[in-house]
């Protein structure tokens, strides 16, 4: 028997545009119209939690009056912006975070939901399968198909290494901890990725009193990339789950950025992400991506010194990364890996995490 407990507060839906120039734009009817006139396709990528809300809604009875309790009335308003199905919906990426059994159920619920509340997006109505419910099984890195392992390997490995330093408190100084993380990355992978470096800068950053805006941003990054349900990791398995969840978020953002930067089959794209994850929204506010030119699709870090009360951490870590990158360019250190080699490095890093977790993670 499934006992459904209604949300005390409906979740907020976020519609995010990773490529922007400093202020998050809005997806609205005029933008859809302008895109159509310019021959651009407006694409909406679904985060897994959006399909999860549809699934929980269906399990609770799927009645129209329950939509607001699950925050799905907000989604319907977005889907019906144009009224003619002009949005191109993409839910396939959400399945990469799920087991095949769960992905199959989520896909059926997704089609059923659209058929009932946004029928302009489906060719015919769908009914819910009688065996809808399945246990929410773990879907670790090694459970994924080989092509997904390749896609997730680098961000997963980098975020695992960040977890290693987070739980091993050998250094108390924030700058020393960040620099240790970078040196560990260079020793184990020898690839510096701007996205993960900026995430780590926030996660290792010191708390600063009397700057609540900074505190909220710092907390959002720490909770999204080093916590699970707001709780500290208690095992090596928790550490792997947290890192993989963060890697999925970065994968979703990268997919949206790549589509905008390069188009699809010769058609220009205007790509958005819809999610109920407020922490992912904070990430997209903190970091933007270049909209055009030779750096199109490249991350634009906007956190050089995010507070006027910086105790020296933000300036020193920025200088450290800048000097490191200059040295690597001068010595032509641009490491690339074959997929199998990268996956083997993930295996080695997981072993490091397991070893440290035995002594450093509280049971």
pLDDT tens readout for residues 188-204? 988 888 889 989 999 99
- 3-class DSSP state for residue 182? helix
The answer to whether 160 and 226 are in contact (CB under 8 A) is no
Would you give per-residue pLDDT tens digits along the chain (363 residues)? 333 444 557 899 999 998 887 788 899 988 998 998 999 999 999 999 999 999 999 989 999 999 999 999 999 999 988 766 678 898 888 888 888 888 888 888 998 999 999 988 877 555 555 555 555 556 789 988 898 899 899 999 999 999 999 988 777 899 999 999 999 999 998 888 888 998 999 999 999 888 888 898 899 899 989 998 788 888 999 999 999 999 999 999 989 988 988 888 889 999 999 999 988 888 888 887 766 554 444 555 555 567 778 888 999 998 998 888 877 766 655 566 788 899 999 999 999 999 888 776 655
* Tens of pLDDT, residues 273-292: 999 998 888 888 888 776 65
- What residue segments make up the domains of the chain, in order of their start? 143-250+296-360
Tell me if 86 sits within 8 A of 32, measured CB to CB. Answer: yes
Find the helix or strand (DSSP H, E) in which 37 lies. Answer: helix 29-38
Q: At what angle do helices 174-188 and 339-360 cross, to 10 degrees?
A: 140
Contacts 24+ apart (CB under 8 A), 302-310: 302/22, 303/198, 303/201, 303/202, 306/214, 306/217, 307/208, 307/211, 307/214, 308/211, 309/208, 309/209, 309/210, 309/211, 309/214, 310/208
Question: What are residue 93's phi and psi, to 5 degrees?
Answer: -65, -30
Q: How far apart are CA 302 and CA 111, in angstroms?
A: 39
Long-range contacts of 277-281 (CB under 8 A, 24+ apart): 277/14, 277/47, 277/49, 277/224, 277/249, 278/12, 278/14, 278/220, 279/220, 279/221, 279/223, 279/224, 280/14, 280/16, 280/47, 280/224, 280/249, 280/252, 280/253, 281/14, 281/16
| CA–CA separation, 40 and 58 (whole Å) | 34
pTM, rounded to two decimals: 0.86
């Amino acid at each position: 028997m499934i006992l459904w407990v209604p949300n005390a507060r409906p979740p907020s839906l976020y519609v995010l545009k990773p490529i922007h120039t400093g202020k998050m734009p809005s997806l609205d009817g005029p933008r859809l119209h302008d895109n159509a006139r310019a021959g651009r396709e407006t694409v909406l990528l679904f985060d897994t939690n959006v399909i999860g809300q549809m699934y929980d809604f269906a399990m609770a009875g799927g009645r129209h009056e329950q939509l607001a309790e699950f925050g799905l009335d907000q989604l319907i308003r977005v889907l019906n912006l144009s009224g003619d199905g002009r949005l191109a919906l993409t839910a396939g990426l959400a399945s990469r975070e799920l087991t095949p059994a769960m992905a199959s159920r989520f896909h059926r619920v997704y089609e059923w939901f659209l058929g009932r509340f946004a029928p302009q997006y489906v060719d015919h109505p769908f009914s819910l399968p009688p065996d809808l419910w399945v246990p929410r099984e773990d879907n670790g890195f090694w459970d994924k198909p080989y092509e997904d392992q390749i896609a997730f390997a680098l961000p997963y490995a980098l975020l695992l290494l960040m977890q290693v330093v987070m739980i091993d408190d050998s250094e108390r100084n924030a700058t020393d901890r960040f620099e240790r993380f970078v040196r560990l990355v260079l020793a184990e992978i020898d690839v510096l990725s701007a996205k993960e470096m900026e995430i780590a800068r926030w996660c290792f950053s010191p708390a600063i009193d009397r700057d609540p805006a900074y505190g909220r941003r710092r907390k959002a990054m720490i909770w999204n990339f080093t916590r699970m349900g707001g709780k500290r990791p208690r095992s090596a398995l928790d550490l792997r789950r947290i890192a993989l969840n963060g890697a999925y978020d970065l994968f979703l953002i990268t997919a949206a950025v790549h589509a905008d930067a390069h188009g699809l089959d010769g058609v220009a794209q205007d790509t958005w992400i819809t999610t109920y994850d407020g922490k992912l929204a904070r990430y997209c506010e903190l970091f933007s991506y270049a909209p055009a030119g030779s750096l199109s699709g490249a991350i634009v870090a906007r956190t050089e010194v995010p507070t006027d009360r910086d105790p020296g951490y933000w300036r020193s870590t920025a200088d450290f990364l800048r000097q490191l990158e200059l040295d690597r360019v001068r010595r032509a250190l641009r490491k690339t890996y074959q997929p199998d080699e990268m996956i083997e490095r993930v295996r080695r890093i997981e072993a490091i995490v397991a070893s440290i977790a035995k002594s450093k993670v509280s049971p």
